[in-house]
Amino acid sequence: MTAFVFIRIGKEFLPYIDEGSIWLQVKLPSGISIEKGAEMASELRDVTREFPEVSFIVTQLGRNDDGTDPFTPSHIEAMVGLHPYNTWRPRRSKLDLIDEMDARFQQIPGITVGFSQPMIDGVNDKVAGAHSELVVKVFGEDFVETRRIAEDILEILEGVEGAVDLAIDQEPPLPQMQIVVDRDAAARFGINVSQISELIEVGIGGREVSEIFLGQRRYDVILRFPEQVRNTPEKIGNLLLTSPDGATIALSQVADIVNTTGESTISREMNRRHATVKLNLRGRDFSHFLRDGQRAIDENVVYDKDLYAIEWGGLFENKERAEGRALIILAMVLAIIFLLLYAEFGTVRHPMVILSSLPLAILGGLLALQFRGMTVNVASTVGFIALSGLAVQNGVILISNLNRVKMKKALSLKEAVLQGSVMRLRPVLITAMTTLFGVLPAAFAFGVGSDIQRPLTTVIMGGLITATILTMIVLPVVYYLVERRVKSEE
C-alpha cells in the first residue's frame, strides 16, 4: 500500500525547485505499519520546516504507483524545496544546511536519513543499484551470512572519515507464514499438490473470477475466503480439501503451517544474490576514502572468500573514468603547448624553461584547495588544465622579452636577465590580476552551479598567485643558469 502526503505544492513553488532542492531517503523501522509510518512522515515534515531556508517538503511513504521501487511502508522519499539562495543568511551554503539538518534528524528516534539531489538520486540508483554515491555489495547465496557481513561492513565504515548516511539497502527479514506441503501425507489421501496450491491461491490470495464495467472504468471481481477464516495459522489449517473419494481433509493434515521470518526483498546482479551497504561522502574525496575503506574491510571483516565476494560500486567509477580522460587531455595540452613553444623559439631549452613554471602553478592550486577545505575532483582537474595555459602565457611573455633584451643590447647575461625581468614585471602582473579579479565572483559564489565553479576557480586563483610570484623569481634564475651553460659550451 502507498500513502502520499503533499504539502503546499502548486505552480507558485516550481521556481524554487530550480533555485535548489534536497532529496531525502528515509529508512524507518522494519515491519512498521502504514499508520505509524504516516505519523513519522508527519514528524519529519514538521522538523524539516523548522529551517527557514526550506520552502516546502513532499513525502512519499512506501512504493511508488508504477511499482518500479519495491519499497515498503518502512521507506520514505521526500523532496525538500529551498528558497532562493539570495534570501539565505550570508555565507551559508547548502552543505552547511545539510549538516544542520542531519544533526536535527538524528534526534528523531527510529529513522535514518540519507541526503541527495532529485536528479542524481535516480542516476545513483541506475549506476550503483542504490540511492547513494557509494555502495558495497556482498555477493553470496546465504541471506543470513550476507546480511551479517553487510552489518560488519556497516559498523567498520562508520569509523572511516568522510562516510555519512550509512545503511543497508535491503529491508531486513520480516515475519511471514509458510505453508510447507507434506507430500507423503497428501499422497496417502490421494490429493495433488496442485489442489493444495489452488486452495491457497484462491482462498487466501484471491483469484479474479469476473469483471465489472462502469462506463470507461473496469474493475476486477476477486473471490477469496472471508478474513475471519484465514487470519491465523490455525484457521488456515482448518480449510478443507476434497479427496478423490469425496472425503473432506483439513489443510493441516497435508501441510505444516508455521510463522517464521523471511527475506522481504532479494536483490540480484548478474544473476547473483547480494546485500548492499549504501553510503555518501561528505568532506572527503573518493580516492582516499576508498583506500581507507577497503583496507578497513580487509583487516576487520571475516568471511569465506570462496563463497562470498565484496565489490565496490557507485559514482567513483564515473569519477575514475572522467579523471582518466582529464589526464589524457592534460597530457595532450602539454604536448601541444610544447610544440607551439618549440615552433616559436626554435629550441628545446626555452620551452623547457617555460614549462618549469607549471609545478609552481599546480602547487598553488593544491594549496588553495587545502586552504578552502576542498578536494581534487573533476571540476578542479579542469581548473588545472586552464591554469596550465595561464602559467605558460606568463612564461612566454617573460622569456620572449629576455631573449629580445639579450640580443639587442650590449649587456652581460646577468644584466640582460635583470633588466628584461623588470621590464616585464608590470605586464605579467596586469595579466594575472585581471584573471584573478575575473574569477573572483565565481570562486566565492553560493548560487546554483556554484559547487562546480568554486573548485575550478579556486585552483586558478591559487595557482596563478604562486605562479605569478614565483615565475618572476624562479624563471629568470633558471633562464640565467641554462643560458650561461649554453654560452660556456660554445
Site of grid cell 628545446: 348
| CATH 2.30.42.10 is the classification of domain 174-262 | no
What does the alpha-carbon distance between residue 376 and residue 463 come to, in Å, rounded to a whole number?
14
What does the alpha-carbon distance between residue 362 and residue 364 come to, in Å, rounded to a whole number?
5
What does the alpha-carbon distance between residue 134 and residue 316 come to, in Å, rounded to a whole number?
7
What does the alpha-carbon distance between residue 177 and residue 174 come to, in Å, rounded to a whole number?
10
- The distance from CA 100 to its chain's CA centroid, rounded to whole angstroms, is 20
What does the alpha-carbon distance between residue 117 and residue 124 come to, in Å, rounded to a whole number?
10
Architecture (CATH level 2) of domain 347-489: Up-down Bundle (1.20)
The x, y and z cell numbers of residue 418, run together, are 635583470
Can you give the pLDDT of all 490 residues of the chain as single tens digits?
Answer: 333 333 333 333 333 333 478 888 888 887 788 888 888 899 999 999 999 999 999 888 887 766 667 777 788 888 898 888 778 887 777 888 888 998 999 898 888 888 887 777 776 676 666 777 888 999 999 888 999 999 999 999 998 988 888 888 887 787 888 889 999 998 998 898 888 888 888 888 888 888 899 888 888 888 888 888 888 888 888 888 888 888 889 989 999 988 888 777 788 888 889 898 988 888 777 778 888 999 999 999 999 989 999 988 877 777 777 777 877 887 888 888 888 888 888 888 888 888 887 887 888 888 888 888 777 777 787 888 888 888 888 788 888 888 888 777 667 888 888 888 888 788 878 878 888 888 888 877 766 666 778 888 888 888 888 888 877 788 888 888 888 887 776 5
Longest Cα separation, the chain: 125
The x, y and z cell numbers of residue 403, run together, are 631573449
The x, y and z cell numbers of residue 249, run together, are 481433509
Helix (H) or strand (E) holding 214: strand 207-214
Architecture (CATH level 2) of domain 3-170+266-315: 2-Layer Sandwich (3.30)
Helix (H) or strand (E) holding 309: strand 309-314
Among residues 205, 200, 204, the alpha carbon closest in space to that of 241 is found at: 200
Domain boundaries, the chain: 3-170+266-315, 174-262, 347-489
pLDDT at position 338: 86
Which pTM does this prediction carry? 0.63
With beta carbons less than 8 A apart as the criterion, state whether 257 and 205 touch. Answer: no
* CA 208, 213, 214, 218 torsion-angle sign: positive
The x, y and z cell numbers of residue 295, run together, are 583496507
263-285 burial, b at 16+ Cβ within 10 Å, e below that, comes to: bbeebeeeeebbbbbbbbbbeeb
* CA 405, 410, 411, 413 torsion-angle sign: positive
What does the alpha-carbon distance between residue 170 and residue 264 come to, in Å, rounded to a whole number?
8
